């Protein structure tokens, strides 16, 4: 009896030294029994270790292939489910509406699956590596439902912030919030497609989603009417740096529907201003000065300068500095008259 026990112990020790225990999931019948399709999504891959490649390298490659095999099966269900829906919808005379939905689904190249488990096995004798990926369908459903609710809440928050920013006149920031909401709504659509495939009875919160889409569309239409301007100015009043022209110009153009941005990449137009002042004459206690202005208007959408000019504006006051400032201030209406047709 002691000899038998010793033999078993030696055999076990020898087996451990020569590699890991062969997993039961290598058998296809076992996989189908232990991981049935109504409960699990699975993926399987195997391959020999090529000459010149390390074991770790091929293990990582096959893990990726097994995961891709699992995702592919989910995509097939998405496509199959959507195509059956379009057939039914076509019978109701709304084919074109569903067609875009189908195209979006069938061209989807990736499914972001959470909670995937991946196991690997290396058979040293044959230099073969196996990889098995699996995920519980019901855990996956729970993840996607939670993800859907979270993204919908975030989208609502972004659009509410965008509306507040628009009212406050912060249209560039409102546009950024809308773009972020738009990206989330794309993810929401993808999540709904996956849920439709893996759990047809799921509450997809379609009414809430459509409401957000409508709000986003309305917001983008309103923001598209605004003109975004980036301004650069180099000004001086008798060698003293100032921003008189830029400030007056911003104030005037804001009343014409323009919004000013700090980032030139966000702008529809760029305005470049160079302005200096010079003394002209004095007469009976009044000083006459001129502001010499060079202006350039660059259309970022057309990627070219659409207007460029130079002109002088007179200012009269009791002191040179005041006359120069008045001349600078009065250039703003003249500039607006020259560029308004372009920026409206």
Domains of the chain with bracketed CATH: 17-135 (3.10.129), 139-224 (1.20.58), 227-343 (3.30.160.150)
Look at residue 81 in the predicted model and tell me its pLDDT: 56
**pLDDT beyond 70 at 139:** yes
Look at residue 15 in the predicted model and tell me its pLDDT: 39
- What percent of the chain has pLDDT above 70? 84
Look at residue 82 in the predicted model and tell me its pLDDT: 52
**pLDDT beyond 50 at 103:** no
Residue pair 343/269 in contact (Cβ under 8 Å)? The answer is yes
Residue pair 270/283 in contact (Cβ under 8 Å)? The answer is no
Q: Region 292-302: what's the mean pLDDT?
A: 91
Look at residue 20 in the predicted model and tell me its pLDDT: 59
Instruction: Give residue for tokens 């209406």.
Output: 333
CA 335 to chain centre: 37
Look at residue 99 in the predicted model and tell me its pLDDT: 42
Look at residue 112 in the predicted model and tell me its pLDDT: 65
- What percent of the chain has pLDDT above 90? 48
**pLDDT beyond 70 at 174:** yes
Look at residue 164 in the predicted model and tell me its pLDDT: 92
Bridge partners of residue 294, in order along the sequence: 274, 310
Task: Calculate the average pLDDT of the chain.
Answer: 82
Look at residue 338 in the predicted model and tell me its pLDDT: 87
Look at residue 256 in the predicted model and tell me its pLDDT: 81
Residue pair 123/46 in contact (Cβ under 8 Å)? The answer is no
- More confident of the two residues 1 and 299: 299
CA distance 175 to 161: 10
What pTM was computed for the model?
Answer: 0.57
Q: Region 197-216: what's the mean pLDDT?
A: 89
Which stretches of the chain are DSSP H helices? Answer: 2-17, 28-34, 55-91, 95-106, 137-167, 171-198, 206-224, 244-254, 320-329, 331-343
**pLDDT beyond 60 at 8:** no
CA distance 200 to 182: 25
**pLDDT beyond 50 at 86:** no
Look at residue 114 in the predicted model and tell me its pLDDT: 72
**pLDDT beyond 60 at 283:** yes
CA distance 277 to 237: 5
Q: Region 281-287: what's the mean pLDDT?
A: 90
Ramachandran angles phi, psi of 41, nearest 5°: -105, 135
Look at residue 331 in the predicted model and tell me its pLDDT: 92
What residues have CB less than 8 Å from 210, skipping those under 6 apart? none
- More confident of the two residues 159 and 9: 159
CA distance 116 to 71: 10
């Amino acid at each position: 009896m002691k000899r038998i026990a010793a033999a078993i112990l030696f055999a076990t020790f020898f087996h451990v030294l020569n590699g890991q225990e062969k997993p039961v999931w290598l058998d296809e019948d076992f996989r189908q029994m232990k991981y049935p399709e109504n409960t699990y999504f699975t993926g399987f891959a195997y391959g020999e270790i090529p000459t010149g490649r390390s074991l770790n390298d091929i293990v990582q490659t096959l893990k990726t292939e097994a995961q891709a095999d699992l995702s592919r099966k989910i995509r097939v269900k998405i496509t199959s489910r959507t195509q059956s829906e379009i057939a039914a919808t076509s019978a109701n005379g709304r084919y074109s509406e569903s067609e875009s939905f189908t195209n979006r689904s069938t061209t989807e190249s990736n499914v972001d699956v959470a909670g995937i488990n991946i196991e690997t096995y290396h058979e040293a004798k044959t230099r073969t590596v196996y990889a098995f990926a699996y995920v519980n369908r019901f855990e996956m459903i729970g993840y996607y439902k939670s993800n859907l609710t979270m993204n919908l809440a975030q989208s609502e928050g972004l659009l509410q912030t965008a509306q507040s920013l628009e009212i406050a006149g912060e249209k560039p920031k409102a546009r950024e919030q809308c773009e972020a909401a738009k990206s989330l709504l794309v993810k929401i659509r993808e999540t709904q497609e996956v849920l439709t495939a893996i759990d047809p009875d799921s509450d997809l919160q379609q009414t809430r989603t459509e409401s957000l889409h409508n709000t986003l569309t309305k917001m983008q239409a309103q923001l598209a009417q605004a003109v975004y301007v980036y301004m650069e100015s180099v000004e001086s009043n008798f060698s003293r740096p100032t921003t008189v022209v830029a400030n007056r110009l911003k104030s005037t153009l804001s009343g014409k529907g323009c919004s000013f941005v700090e980032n030139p990449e966000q702008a529809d137009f760029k305005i470049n201003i160079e302005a200096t002042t010079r003394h002209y004459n004095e007469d009976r206690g009044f000083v006459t000065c001129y502001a010499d202005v060079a202006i350039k208007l660059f259309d970022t959408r057309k990627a070219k300068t659409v207007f460029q000019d130079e002109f002088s504006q007179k200012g009269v006051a009791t002191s040179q500095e005041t006359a120069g400032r008045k001349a600078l201030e009065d250039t703003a209406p003249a500039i607006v008259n020259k560029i308004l047709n372009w920026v409206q």
